[in-house]
Amino acid sequence: MRTLRFLQFFFRRIFMSFPKKRRRAKVDGDESFLAVLRHFKPFGQLDTKIARARAQDEPVLYAHVLPGLDVLLCSMRGAQPPYPAVEELHRRCVECITNALEQPLDGLENGGYWYEANGFGFLVFASRARTQILSEFGATASARARRGARRQDAGDAASRLR
SS (H, E, C) the chain: CHHHHHHHHHHHHHHHCCCCCCCCCCCCCCCCHHHHHHCCCCCCCHHHHHHHHHHCCCCEEEEEEECCEEEEEEECCCCCCCCCCHHHHHHHHHHHHHHHHHCCHHHHHCCCEEEEECCEEEEEEEHHHHHHHHHHCCCCCCHHHHHHHHHHHCCCHHHHHC
Q: Is residue 19 part of a domain?
A: no
**Could you give the number of structural domains in the chain?**
1
Q: Is residue 105 part of a domain?
A: yes
Task: Note whether 130 and 136 are within 8 A (CB).
Answer: no
Residue 131: domain span: 42-152
Instruction: Mean pLDDT check: name the lowest of 77-86, 106-115, 142-151.
Output: 142-151
How far is residue 159 from each of residues 9, 145, 154, 156, 162, measured CA to CA in Å? 64, 17, 9, 6, 6
pTM of the model: 0.60
Query: Which has more pLDDT, 7 or 71?
Result: 71
Q: What's residue 22's pLDDT?
A: 63
Q: Is residue 29 part of a domain?
A: no
Task: Note whether 95 and 74 are within 8 A (CB).
Answer: no
CB atoms closer than 10 angstroms to residue 49: 22
How does the average pLDDT of the chain come out, rounded? 75
Q: Is residue 144 part of a domain?
A: yes
Query: Which has more pLDDT, 103 or 4?
Result: 103
Residue 98 confidence (pLDDT) above 70: yes
Q: Is residue 1 part of a domain?
A: no
pLDDT interval class at 61 (50, 70, 90): very high
Q: Is residue 10 part of a domain?
A: no
Q: Is residue 34 part of a domain?
A: no
Q: Is residue 46 part of a domain?
A: yes
